[in-house]
Amino acid sequence: MSGELRVLGACPLDCPDTCSWVVTVENGKAVKLRGNPDQPYTRGALCVKVNRYLEHTQADDRILYPMRRTGPKGSGQFERITWDEALDEISVRLRGIVEQHGGEAVWPYLGTGTLGYLQGCEGVAGRRFWNMLGASKHWLNICSAAGSTGLRRTNGTAAGMDPENFALSKLILLWGTNTLTSGHHLWKFIQDARADGAHVVAIDPIRTRTADQADEHLAIRPGTDAALALGLLNVVLAENAQDEEFLAEHTEGWEDFRQEILSHPVERVAEITGIPAEAVHRLGMRLAHTRPTAIRATQGLQRHKGGGTALRTIAAIPGVTGDWRHPGGGVAYSTSDHVRFTIDTRDDLLAKPVRTRVMSKLASQLDDVKCLWVYAANPVGSTPDANAIRRQLEREDLFTVVMEQFPTDTVDYADIVLPATMQTEHHDLHAGYGHLYLLWNEPAVEPPGECLSTTETFRRLAAHMGMTEPSLFDSDLELAEQLLSSGHPSLEGITLDRLRKEGWVRMNYPQPFAPFAEGFPTPSGRLRFPPAGQAYVPSHTASAGRSAYPLTLVTPAPHTFLNTTFGNNPELRRRAKDPVVLVNPADAAARGLSAGQRVRVHNDGGGFLADVEISDRVAAGVVASPKGRWPKLSPGGANPNAVVAERDGDMGRGPGFHDNLVELSPIS
């Protein structure tokens, strides 16, 4: 290839924005990356993390060849081998495990390292191969399961507002979401609304950079979001501002839910949430008298014991106020359910039903697993109970294969490492979970070394194992055609040829879009209010401050890493500096802690090291330390997941990353 070429693609990472981008290629090398200025959501901008993506693809520590372990598990000692050697060994081991222990002893552990429908988790990449093998299924619950379940119980779907319609809103609640760090393109639409008089409120335990830019910040006690929703609605009822027509025509269970609202007066809610009663009342008055009101509630909000209930209750707010009838009103959590692809994982290839293993329960559900196959994931750095996971991965009877781009902590425990392509090197199809566009990613350059895409790896492995099922060998373009073939009206006129030429296409939803103005996708066609007597305040919240571990730890997304992606990037690590834990001045004084002092953040599960940052950005009783660091690149070799216990949330088996009780102890 010679000369200059502009290649249209899409960011694959776990962010709602799924940006359209343009790669400039000169003489076969990618030399420039920028946001696509023609795409209405990206508008030419990428984030501080992805701006360094090309540098990341060309990093010195990129894994380029298959490798076999030569040292103890966890040592990260490997030797280079050929693809044939790797596939030979894998084939022999897989056959032996299936013959001796059955296919369910194989766990394909797929993460959110890419959200591609071909190469990543959205299309359940590799599932056809695993079905032929009879392997266990994998429940990818770690990101949004609790909230999605809660929303579906209320609305019949986790889908909601078109985020672009925030430009039409008059009151915007950014509830448990740090927009300027995790999905900053929405902020442009919020700015449009503010220019037209909208009031913006951040509801967050931490005064984030987004809270700094909001008109108002309410520092809520972690885990009490459902109670706040009820308190705000209590004010709405006191003002007789409920939309009686919408309630009568489009909801069910209102009388019982109304009694629940009445049992949560402002004073009680203030005591539960830690928000002053006057602030609750003031926001309730705004909610009562401002149409349309838009609520942005994202994944961090539901990663606690009551996460499903929180989203279910928040989703009820526009049912009471009638905001769903107005463009610019409602709740925006995820747009994924608006995507109507045909995802044919060929479950008919399974010889019998198989068990489903839960992503966040890796440590406890590995006992009877003999092969763990990890791709697009770094569980040692991103999954609860990290210390127990390490102990499991040390087992000599566990054959571990990791498909990766970099030598993560998880790679260190692999028996075989397979080099994986990055986004500029393969085909993929994407749909953002924060907008209504489909995007195509065209490979811009050839893969370096011997890296293979996920789809190609499974095609070669199927052939190596003598499998002949034709669907295992579908090309990437054939798979993309299948995805687009559902016949749903939202996809009418959207062909693969069109996507490849244009790079992005908006699905066929109107602009503006009021998805539930005429009803909901529930059996009755009505919004289903939460039942009376539900646990609106999780038990852990009540026990905080009265145990051996009196501080509630919140682990927000940082500005420099995305989950553990970029955790090894030298420049982003430099910007992130050493890990810190935010501590309220009162909690620091009670422990005799000083700014910059290194402490161990710990509980019965383990601990990690961080430097104290004394700040009123967190309330007394709450500490915060960002997620995303690689443990082996962190002081003490651990990150916050060392103190996160394996436990199910109230819905969808969602994990609890933000309701862990800890103590801080100085390092002598």
Q: What is the mean pLDDT of residues 466-485?
A: 97
pTM given for the model: 0.96
pLDDT classification of 545: cutoffs 50, 70, 90: low
pLDDT classification of 1: cutoffs 50, 70, 90: very low
Q: What is the mean pLDDT of residues 229-246?
A: 98
- Map residue 210 onto helix, strand or coil: helix
Residues 243 and 286 in one domain: yes
pLDDT classification of 251: cutoffs 50, 70, 90: very high
In angstroms, the CA 440 to CA 144 distance is: 24
The CATH number covering residue 100 comes to 3.40.50.740
Chosen domain end from 318, 333, 348: 333
Contacts for 567 with CB less than 8 Å, ≥ 6 apart: 381, 408, 561, 573, 628, 629, 630, 633
Query: What type of residue sits at position 103?
Result: G
In tens, the pLDDT along 368-402 reads 999 999 999 999 999 999 999 999 999 999 999 99
Q: Is residue 602 part of a domain?
A: yes
pLDDT of residue 118: 98
In angstroms, the CA 150 to CA 530 distance is: 9
Residues 317 and 378 in one domain: no
Q: Is residue 584 part of a domain?
A: yes
pLDDT of residue 22: 98
Structure tokens at 604: 């019965």
Largest CA distance in the chain: 72
In tens, the pLDDT along 150-196 reads 999 999 999 999 999 999 999 999 999 999 999 999 999 999 999 99
Chosen domain end from 482, 506, 530: 506
Element (H, E) at 324: none
Q: Is residue 191 part of a domain?
A: yes
Q: Which of 19, 17, 2 is nearest to 503 (CA)?
A: 19
Residue labelled with tokens 């619950």: 141
Element (H, E) at 171: strand 171-175
In angstroms, the CA 110 to CA 397 distance is: 21
pLDDT surpassing 70 at residue 296: yes
pLDDT surpassing 60 at residue 214: yes
Cβ count near 289 (within 10 Å): 14
Q: What is the mean pLDDT of residues 274-293?
A: 98
pLDDT surpassing 90 at residue 536: no
In tens, the pLDDT along 554-568 reads 999 999 999 999 999
Helix, strand, coil shares of the chain as percentages rounded to 5?
35, 20, 45
The CATH number covering residue 329 comes to 3.40.228.10
In tens, the pLDDT along 78-107 reads 999 999 999 999 999 999 999 999 999 999
pLDDT of residue 3: 75
pLDDT surpassing 70 at residue 653: yes
Query: What type of residue sits at position 373?
Result: W
Residues 170 and 314 in one domain: yes
Total structural domains in the chain? 3
Residues 559 and 646 in one domain: yes
Q: Is residue 57 part of a domain?
A: no
Q: Is 626 exposed, middle or buried (0-12, 13-18, 19+ CB in 10 A)?
A: buried
Q: What is the mean pLDDT of residues 471-482?
A: 97
Residues 138 and 170 in one domain: no
Residues 464 and 570 in one domain: no
Q: Is residue 239 part of a domain?
A: yes
- The domain containing residue 567 runs over which residues? 541-666
Q: What is the mean pLDDT of residues 353-367?
A: 97
Residues 132 and 189 in one domain: no
pLDDT surpassing 70 at residue 264: yes
The CATH number covering residue 651 comes to 2.40.40.20
DSSP collapsed to 3 states, 585-641: HHHHHHHCCCCCCEEEEEECCEEEEEEEEECCCECCCEEECCCCCCHHHCHHHCCHH
The per-residue pLDDT of the chain, averaged, comes to: 96
pLDDT classification of 539: cutoffs 50, 70, 90: low
Residues 216 and 296 in one domain: yes
Q: Is residue 514 part of a domain?
A: no
pLDDT surpassing 80 at residue 2: no
In tens, the pLDDT along 404-462 reads 999 999 999 999 999 999 999 999 999 999 999 999 999 999 999 999 999 999 999 99
Residue labelled with tokens 């599960």: 605
φ/ψ of residue 584, rounded to 5: -65, 145
Residue labelled with tokens 């040292």: 71
- Which region among 275-289, 424-438, 491-505, 647-661 has the lowest average model confidence (pLDDT)? 647-661
Residues 630, 567: contact at Cβ < 8 Å? Answer: yes
Q: Is residue 45 part of a domain?
A: no
Residues 119 and 191 in one domain: no
Chosen domain end from 333, 348, 369: 333
In angstroms, the CA 54 to CA 59 distance is: 9
Q: What is the mean pLDDT of residues 319-334?
A: 97
pLDDT surpassing 50 at residue 364: yes
Residues 135 and 170 in one domain: no
% of residues, the chain, pLDDT over 70 = 98
pLDDT surpassing 90 at residue 543: no
Residues 165 and 305 in one domain: yes
Residues 274 and 176 in one domain: yes
Q: Indicate the DSSP class of residue 307.
A: H
Residues 441, 413: contact at Cβ < 8 Å? Answer: no
In angstroms, the CA 486 to CA 511 distance is: 22
Cβ count near 170 (within 10 Å): 19
Structure tokens at 535: 């646990």
Q: Is residue 346 part of a domain?
A: no
pLDDT surpassing 70 at residue 362: yes
pLDDT of residue 556: 94
Residues 190, 200: contact at Cβ < 8 Å? Answer: yes
